[in-house]
C-alpha cells in the first residue's frame, strides 16, 4: 500500500495559515497593493478597518410605490394587530399575494413595491373592535402613499 506522507502537506498548509493570519488579501481586495480604487478605506495599523460613514439612502424606485397604513381604534389610539385587506382597483394592476397583513404595535403597516395605481384598503380587528369603511388610495411611483383609518364598532 502506497501511503501519502502527511509531512508533504504540512509545509503548504502552514504557508496558507500564515498568509491568512497575516491578513494577506487577494489582488483587488480592499487595502491590497493591487487595489485600483484610491478612495477605498484601508485597514489601520492595528488591522482594524477604519470607521466609515453610513451609506446614503437608496433612491426611490420610480417604477413602484409604497403604501403606509395606520389604523386607530375609535378612541384614537394606534391599533396593533389590525388585519388589512388591500386590493388593486385599476384594470391591469397585478393582484397582490394572499398574505396576512397586520399592523405593528404602533398600528402601522408598510407595503413596498406596489405598482402605481388605485388600491382599496379595509381594516378590521380580530378582537371585534370593528372594521373600517373601504378607503381608496392612489399610489404613485417613487413615493409612499400614507393613509390613516379608524375602525368603528
Q: Where are the domains of the chain?
A: 1-49, 65-150
In three-state secondary structure terms, 105 is coil
Reply yes or no on whether the pLDDT at 102 is more than 50.
yes
Q: Residue-wise over 118-127: b if at least 16 C-beta within 10 A, else e? A: ebebbbbbee
CATH 1.10.10.10 fits 65-150, yes or no: no
Q: Is the dihedral of CA 94, 95, 100, 102 positive or negative?
A: positive
pTM beyond 0.85? no
**Nearest alpha carbon to residue 71 among 56, 81, 58, 61:** 81
- CA neighbours within 13 Å on the CB side: how many for 71? 30
List, for residues 9-32, the tens digit of each pLDDT value.
555 555 444 444 444 333 443 443
Amino acid at each position: 500500500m502506497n501511503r501519502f506522507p502527511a509531512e508533504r502537506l504540512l509545509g503548504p498548509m502552514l504557508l496558507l495559515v500564515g498568509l491568512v493570519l497575516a491578513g494577506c488579501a487577494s489582488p483587488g481586495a480592499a487595502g491590497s497593493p493591487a487595489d485600483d480604487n484610491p478612495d477605498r478605506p484601508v485597514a489601520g495599523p492595528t488591522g482594524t478597518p477604519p470607521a466609515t460613514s453610513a451609506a446614503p439612502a437608496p433612491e426611490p424606485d420610480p417604477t413602484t410605490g409604497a403604501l403606509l397604513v395606520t389604523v386607530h381604534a375609535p378612541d384614537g389610539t394606534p391599533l396593533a394587530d389590525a388585519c388589512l385587506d388591500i386590493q388593486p382597483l385599476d384594470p391591469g394592476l397585478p393582484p397582490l399575494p394572499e398574505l396576512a397583513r397586520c399592523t405593528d404595535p404602533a398600528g402601522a403597516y408598510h407595503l413596498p413595491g406596489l405598482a402605481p395605481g388605485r388600491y382599496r384598503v379595509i381594516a378590521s380587528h380580530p378582537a371585534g373592535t370593528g372594521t373600517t369603511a373601504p378607503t381608496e388610495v392612489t399610489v404613485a411611483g417613487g413615493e409612499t402613499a400614507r393613509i390613516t383609518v379608524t375602525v368603528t364598532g
